[in-house]
Structure 1
């Protein structure tokens, strides 16, 4: 880890997993620094309502996921806490949000153009 020193406190087989975990924690730390450097209100002013909703959903999901990880690290079963139900509730909102954005991206039928196309084709 620090200086690639291998400790004898754990089996050598899991050393790579620890390195991956350390790198992942570093990535999360950098992302959090970036997020924390921008005031939330300034960010939301620049976004449309759907963008604001997406930021809110991702933020809430991330915080609850981090709490889940915290509970696991503390050797507490997170399934015994309301965080599990909260994550499920947020996932439902995220699915609803995805459906809304997919409908918005879907092509709209121009009836006039479609009838002209069919008339000319016949």
Structure 2
């Protein structure tokens, strides 16, 4: 066993437990048939699962390159991770659009029509009330009778 600085014992122990945890999860995932969980998902959730799997595997490969002393920023894995992130952003945009409120044009036009109708109705009532107060009858379909002397 090689000698290493003992100041990093805690970090190495944490790294070891994290690797074991990832290995356990990957073993569970690999033991399941791939089609089984996907059949229960809608296409958008299937895309999310595929992207998450691809991102996870590429991230693990990134970590592998680091442990081998290679710079992953100079490797093609960097472009692959960026490509996956782009698709993840597209899926997020689609999800956000699904959640966004939609305008029901028919309902909106009914609201506007009814609001305008009430406004017109209130205006005509105000005019009638002001004519009545001024002593002139509200517009009547019959002509005004004149008194005979």
Normalised by the length of structure 1, the TM-score is 0.80
| 1:81 matches 2:107 | no
3-state SS in 2 of match to 1:47: coil
Q: Which structure has the higher relative contact order (CA within 8 Å, separation 6+)?
A: 1
Which residue number in structure 2 is paired with residue 45 of structure 1?
Answer: 39
Flag the structure with higher helix content: 1
Which residue number in structure 1 is paired with residue 96 of structure 2?
Answer: 102
For structure 2, the residue ranges without an aligned partner over 5 or more in a row are: 120-149
Distance 2:14 2:111 in 1: 57
Residue by residue, what CA displacement relative to the aligned partner does 1:91-110 show, whole Å, maximum 9, x if unpaired? 11110110011101112122
Q: Which is further off, 74-83 or 25-34?
A: 25-34
Count the aligned residue pairs.
Answer: 114
3-state SS in 1 of match to 2:73: helix
- C-alpha root-mean-square deviation of aligned residues, in Å? 2.1
Write out aligned runs for 1:2-41 (5 A).
9-12=4-7, 14-41=8-35
**1:62 maps to which of 47, 56, 67:** 56
Q: Cα offset for 1:11?
A: 2.8
Tell which structure's C-alpha radius of gyration is larger: 2
Normalised by the length of structure 2, the TM-score is 0.67
Residue by residue, what CA displacement relative to the aligned partner does 1:20-61 show, whole Å, maximum 9, x if unpaired? 222222221221122112111122111111111111111111
For structure 1, the residue ranges without an aligned partner over 5 or more in a row are: 1-7
